[in-house]
Chains A and B, each alone.
Chain A
């Protein structure tokens, strides 16, 4: 392996057994994207490559090509040219191609709606990104100073020119966290899926631990489902270890219990030496195989970009071989302590000692209150600090200063997303006089944070609902009292009717009494009926708020 410089870019070159390939790496990824620009790196990548060879990660984006020296030279020159002068006529097509990506909810719960957490969000901003936005993004990140090259082959292809605009090195974003306490949990949304992630110091110990964990999870599942773990290094010297288990939905509680037990076991230091030895052996085999294919080169190019020394195969092998059971146990304990667990939908892991990750705000911001239409239990509050939306046991507050994006619909709805991922939903249809809050939000939230959303279908616009029904006890009381009144008035009506028919008393008085009894009886009967209906629906099933 050699280190060299190509057109001012740091580069690594290593001979390989297979076909020649090369890659151009930039220090930019989804973690750099503000939520209001989410998807912009992928859009640049699609625009520049026309859909061939590009890949966007959390911190790096690379353009990769395999083939003859001429093919490599042509592809990379094309990438550089497109970055200098973006083919904006292809913008619409590139946008189409960007499509939908699978989203992992854990980063949002750990990091909020910024940095590494943005990866959990849809690319809402994509349709609204302009040529200017793209140029600005390219100027900031896709520069000579923010790039590195790898070549898997005997020589740098002849005539390779990397004509990139000049700029500056952009350090990776710091990983913020919104979790006040760990280990923590939150309920997921996909039945049958249980997941967990953690952030630990990177290194061979952590990589071995991730593989040991996968084996333990597979062992625990015993064929009822699938499990895998992932080890992803970060520029700040940490690594994310993520684990996912997928099982049939009727097995999801067992999958959660199994994962809890596996994590508790490794935390308690119960790590099988044979398993560590097996993983170390496989890792070494994998490293050697990667080296021969040149698959270690992208990682080495990342190191160059981070200003770190590039590790030779022998150094890497020696490090992995030195990993002991005790090392893995130390990682396991560290990993457990900063863990975040995703339970199946509606589940909890409080019983296993995991704290509930905050799903809403702790405080209600001061300001003017707008009551709910129909439902008096919900409130929208707007003030100098920001907006709060409250309901029974729910508070969503987003300060003007901590708002990272505002989704704006043509029907007037505004959703303010805070950096802690809390969403304050300003729905004009739900609150009295909410138009004023919409105008305030439009004035207070900077244009660059605003995301224009396509019109919503009529049934997606929330409609005012009456307040949640009262408890069964009160309904029973209403039913009893109004029922007694009904009986009383019915008895009165019958009595008056008898007197009328038999002509015993004063006909006019009796007719009046009959009419009155019928009217009051009907009035009470209505209450009776409503209470009975509500009781019936209470019994039918649990009330969903």
Chain B
């Protein structure tokens, strides 16, 4: 007889849910730019931006992408990919620690790296002003370089004028509005609420409400599980989370397009933390074997953490 198997960990690699990621990775690795473009050009705007963000975690792409840009400086896709790649390289210098825990030398190298990325993106935005992937990347640099809230707002407005429901950019702007980036909670919750309210039924945008509450929970109550549960299960917060889920993951019009795993996973985490087990279980079931790093990494190693909460909720997966 086989020993009892530990519960299977969810597959966290986004490529499992979105096959285009592997297609793009392969094309990038083999230096096949026409193939990269054909993958990106076939994608919807949000999917395309998410795809460009894989360059954040890849290494050794700079020479290839700079070569592409030398050939065609106006190639927005190459600009966005290289921008993300340079941002990723800078962020790895900085590490994910909070800014007060990072050494001065590291912060200086991080800033320098981000400036290289930003200069490239200034030019990319000048040449392709209607590319949402470039504006999304510029929201990251605006935050990392502390260019100010009004500048981030300007960049977000430019993005929203192109695509008012661009979740990757909305998430970046939400981070800007959180106190850790110099914002205030009221701004973050208002932005999340307004964006959610303006979104069509079944869209991803309402997940911002959950993101904002999870950020708030982590920052103010993350150290004590009981206090965290009290914050998230307080009447108004619970109502907002339920309303947001009803307009998004729990709406019949919700589609499993690029990004659905993270949206579902985020709602699952919020309901799991406020101890609404049936709600969390339903979402875990919807996810099946899939999962996402963010925002579970706020709780530690995402894989085992998801397994723990999924088990507690009593649903989904095996």
Contacts and interface: CB of A to CB of B under 8 A. Distances in A.
B125 A261 contact: yes
Given A253-B147, A351-B119, A258 B129 contact: no
A242 to B, nearest CB: 21
A352 B119 contact: yes
Nearest to A350: B115
Contacts of A265: 126, 129
A274 interface: no
Given A250-B150, A351-B147, A352-B119, A257 B155 contact: yes
Contacts of B114: 351
Contact of A254 (B118, B122, B126, B153): B153
B312 interface: no
A270 B122 contact: no
B123 A257 contact: no
Interface in A407-441: none
B74 to A, nearest CB: 8
A267 B148 CA distance: 24
Which of B123, B127, B145, B154 has the most A CB atoms < 10 Å from its CB? Answer: B154
A257 B151 contact: yes
A253 B126 contact: no
A256 interface: yes
A268 interface: yes
A255 B129 CA distance: 17
B122 A252 contact: no
Interface string B102-131: 000000000000110011001101110100
Nearest to B144: A351
A268 B123 CA distance: 7
Contacts of A260: 122
A251 interface: yes
A422 B128 CA distance: 41
A257 B142 CA distance: 10
Contacts of A251: 150
Contact of A258 (B115, B118, B126, B154): B154
Given A253-B148, A254-B148, A256-B151, A268 B118 contact: no
A391 interface: no
Contact of B126 (A255, A257, A270, A351): A270
A255 B145 CA distance: 16
Nearest to B149: A253
A264 interface: yes
Interface string B232-254: 00000000000000000000000
Nearest to B145: A351
A455 interface: no
Interface string A335-354: 00000000000000011110
Interface string B153-191: 111000000000000000000000000000000000000
A258 B152 CA distance: 11
A78 to B, nearest CB: 54
B151 A254 contact: yes
B129 A270 contact: yes
Contacts of A255: 150
Sort chain B's interface into a size bin: 20 to 34
A261 B123 CA distance: 8
A253 B73 CA distance: 27
Interface in A351-400: 351-353
Interface string A259-287: 01100110110100000000000000000
B122 A264 contact: yes
Nearest to B141: A351
B137 to A, nearest CB: 14
Contacts of B123: 264, 268
Nearest to A257: B151
A264 B122 CA distance: 7
Contacts of B155: 257
A151 to B, nearest CB: 48
Contact of B154 (A257, A268, A350): A257
Contacts of A253: 147-151
A270 B148 CA distance: 26
Contact of A268 (B115, B127, B145, B153): B127
Nearest to B148: A253
A210 B123 CA distance: 21
Given A351-B118, A351-B145, A352-B118, A264 B150 contact: no
Contacts of A268: 73, 123, 126-127
A542 to B, nearest CB: 14
Contacts of B126: 261, 264-265, 267-268, 270
B128 to A, nearest CB: 10
Contacts of A350: 115
A350 B116 CA distance: 10
B62 to A, nearest CB: 18
A255 B153 CA distance: 11
A251 B73 CA distance: 31
A524 B199 CA distance: 65
A252 B147 contact: no
Contacts of B141: 351
A335 to B, nearest CB: 14
A252 B127 CA distance: 24
Contacts of A252: 148, 150
Given A261-B122, A268-B123, A254 B154 contact: yes
B149 to A, nearest CB: 7
B127 A270 contact: yes
Contacts of B118: 351-352
A345 to B, nearest CB: 12
A267 B115 CA distance: 19
A258 B115 CA distance: 17
A352 B122 CA distance: 7
Contacts of A267: 126
A494 B222 CA distance: 45
A258 B155 CA distance: 9
Which of A252, A256, A352 has the most B CB atoms < 10 Å from its CB? Answer: A352
B35 to A, nearest CB: 27
B115 A254 contact: no
A255 B151 CA distance: 8
A253 B118 CA distance: 15
Contacts of B148: 252-254
A176 B143 CA distance: 39
B151 A351 contact: no
Interface of A: 250-258, 260-261, 264-265, 267-268, 270, 350-353
Given A253-B148, A268-B127, 12 more contacts: A252-B148, A253-B149, A254-B148, A257-B151, A258-B154, A261-B122, A264-B123, A265-B126, A270-B127, A351-B115, A351-B145, A353-B122
11 contacts: A253-B151, A257-B142, A257-B147, A257-B155, A261-B126, A264-B123, A264-B125, A265-B126, A267-B126, A351-B141, A352-B122
Interface of B: 73, 114-115, 118-119, 122-123, 125-127, 129, 141-142, 145, 147-151, 153-155
By Cβ-Cβ distance, the 9 closest A-B pairs, closest first, are A253-B148, A254-B150, A264-B126, A254-B154, A253-B151, A257-B151, A265-B126, A268-B126, A353-B119
